[in-house]
Amino acid sequence: MKIKVKGWIFIATCAFSLNGMAQDEKQSPITPYELSEVRLLESPFKHAEQLDIEYLLTLDADRLLAPYQREAGLPQKAASYTNWENTGLDGHIGGHYVSALSLMYASTGNQQIKERLDYMLKHLKACQDASGDGYLGGVPRSKELWKEIAQGNIKAGAFSLNKGWVPLYNIHKIYAGLRDAWLYAKREDAREMLIKLTDWAIRLVEKLDDQQIQDMLRSEHGGLNEVFADVAAITGNNKYLDLACRFSHRQILDPLLNGEDKLTGLHANTQIPKVIGFQRIAELSNDNQWHQAARFFWETVARNRSVSIGGNSCSEHFHPSDDFTKMMNHTQGPETCNTYNMIRLSKMLFLNSGEEQFIDFYERALYNHILSSQNPRNGGLVYFTPMRNGHYRVYSQPHTSMWCCVGSGIENHAKYGEMIYAQQGDDIYVNLFIPSALSDEESGLEIKQENNFPDDTQTTLTINPHKRSKFTVYLRYPQWVKQGELTLTINGEETEFTANPGEYIALTRRWKKGDQISVNLPMHLSVEQLPDKSAFYSIKYGPIVLAAELGDTEQDGLFADDSRGGHIAHGREWPLQEMPMFVGEKEEIIPSFTPVANKKLTFKLEKVVSPHYNTLEFKPFFRLHEKRYMIYLPLISKANYQQQMEKLKKQEEERAALEAVTLDKVTCGEQQPESDHFITTGESTTGKEGDRRWRMAKDWFGYQFKVTQVPQKIRITYDGNQPQDADFKIMANNIEVSNVHMTKRKGKETYVVEYSLPETSTQTTTPSPYEIKLIANEGSVTARICEIRITR
């Protein structure tokens, strides 16, 4: 059920009104076709879809249900999965799983997928019924935690809430799963469960004031505001839109309303779902300010903070938009979840405006990040895609890997048909050049798109209306096709048009069965510089990002185990000064590439400087797997070559020397490093200076380190800005390392202090966890700490 509304009322409780029509009634909205109306034809996307079916059916439904059954007090048919599924985020994959099954059933009609969805919903309903109050979730100690929240006893951190690992984020996944089961699989039981669960949320916060809720929303909470708005649309009830608004985080929304980019240092994928919710609320309430806030966010992330594949963030956080150095040096590059959500936001903004720029980004991200995030041999899914030259990706395995990017990943490859076509009244938009068949159940229109894109530049659309009808086909003229080069014919006759790149070609006529549109989309090699204008260039062919293969050695942990850090490529970081570089000028790059005979979309580059590579072959990144690679080509001028190489060599030698003696490390204030080191804490807080994160405490916090050799030193990186005196103890395995007295200071740079570890703290170290605690002395606080390393 789609509710279109006009006007809004903003009152003290932050409630909007659902009444009337949001769209100008003279202009039909652009809407996507149902997933069930589009079927993929043979292509890389069809192959990815099939692999995803196999991955979904390999997963054990009973193990995914176990956290829900445990919290409902019901018998468990199997033990819960390990990894993130039994260390605090219990149940989050189960929610994603319901979404993925629903999307895949709509996309394919596969009966095994339907049976698995039926099974999940049946047992989830039993869990909800057993809870007695509408609650459904796998959050550890659910009853106790939610009771504390309802009573206003809120202890929120960026990645914790009342000592739970982002429980609001966790339950968002089952909310979204139930919503998707209703919207895509038409399951009435899921709709009823969703409404009951949302009524539970209303009761959860009914005694909290807005300030308490905003305090709670400091903890990552996914897109709860979006799903509550969706429930408002599903039911037509204002109370759910009010709930959606109350769950909208003003700390993020207010700067966006003012057109301010305050994103640097923030955890990226915590913010994107919030903004999707802002846009959804704007759609239902016709609020242009909230819409403009969402659009501004998209513009700053897509234009200023994303690399050529469409991904963003480094080590999960937004780095400065004017400095991509960390991105290019770090092994934890763009996170797949971020792009999953940026694609969702791009879809919403396109449907709102019809602007080609949103589809351009959607296509870029779809081919170059999402498609590349699945191993085409076994369906394994990727968390981080390093931009560091010479590094590699790690792939999930179905029974070991329960990361967030597995959850979003099993959804990604189940919905490739969602934006190939769209409709506006009787008119059709052709957005993407993916082989597919559209069958519009309501109008009887059928469209078949056939091509070998991107290897060939030609695509053919066969139009089969139910009867001869007049309507417009809006054909996308991509930005990557040069002015005047796109050609098209209708039934073999060349057709003139007036559109430019970045627009849509309007083809209006009385269409009859068998009419054919043939489009030629010439593609060329081009370079794309990093947004910070540093001397790194990505090589593209049309919309396709090309990458160079650099070998397959030293890929430790290529297929992840169930360890907490198994999603990270921990293999040796190859020295950057030994990676291929282009010495010359920007204008010389493209002429230096030549096509490789008998290899589709493969180009050879001979003009590189490297001790290990004489020539490089570049091919589509989505076809490059289980290899080390290079996406961005460094450009160095001849005049500065020697000086820059010496500087780079020195930096890399210092980095390598530190890594060589590091047994384990944690970046304080960042979600995954802290959760992977099983953080425990009393009253502590996190903050940031630019893109640098820190943690400090009024009492204590600590981590468990994994060390395989006897540690000798602890190396602590302190934030240069300490606003008050700090007096605290450093403890190792409950033995005092140092009693630190630190006066307040104001500085921009971090600084490092090394402490020797007492031998008594290391006697039982390997293979036991090694615990480091920072404990504030009475009446004082700890310092702001950015990083802790255990070294030998």
Tokens 């659902």 locate to 18
φ, ψ at 156 (rounded to 5°): -105, 135
Contact residues for 446 (Cβ-Cβ < 8 A; gap 6+): 437, 438, 439, 440, 464, 465
Q: How many other C-beta atoms are found inside a 10 Å radius of the C-beta of residue 344?
A: 22
Which pLDDT score is estimated for 10?
A: 32
Which pLDDT score is estimated for 769?
A: 83
**What is the mean pLDDT for each group of 10 consecutive residues in the chain (792 residues)?**
30 47 60 98 98 98 98 98 97 98 98 98 98 98 98 93 96 98 98 98 98 97 98 98 98 98 96 98 97 98 98 96 96 98 98 98 98 98 98 98 98 98 97 98 95 97 97 98 97 96 98 98 98 97 98 97 95 95 95 96 92 93 98 92 88 91 94 91 89 92 91 94 94 94 89 91 66 96 96 92
Contact residues for 737 (Cβ-Cβ < 8 A; gap 6+): 714, 729, 730, 731, 755, 756, 757, 758, 761
Q: State the DSSP H helix or E strand holding residue 700, giving kind and residue range, or none if neither.
A: strand 700-705
Cα 393 to Cα 431, 621, 630, 662: the distances in Å are: 30, 12, 12, 22
Which pLDDT score is estimated for 767?
A: 53
Which pLDDT score is estimated for 13?
A: 38
Tokens at residue 114, please? 């339907």
Q: Are 542 and 521 in contact (CB under 8 A)?
A: yes
Tokens at residue 188, please? 């009435």
| Maximal C-alpha separation, the chain | 87
d(CA 618, CA 537): 13
Provide DSSP, 224-261: HHHHHHHHHHHH--HHHHHHHHHTS-HHHHHHHHTT--
Which pLDDT score is estimated for 764?
A: 54
Crossing angle for the helix pair 404-412 and 336-353, to the nearest 10 degrees: 40
d(CA 316, CA 389): 18
Q: How many other C-beta atoms are found inside a 10 Å radius of the C-beta of residue 767?
A: 9
Q: How many other C-beta atoms are found inside a 10 Å radius of the C-beta of residue 643?
A: 10
Which pLDDT score is estimated for 731?
A: 95
d(CA 562, CA 63): 15
- For 380, counting Cβ atoms within 10 Å of its Cβ (0-12 exposed, 13-18 middle, 19+ buried), the class is buried
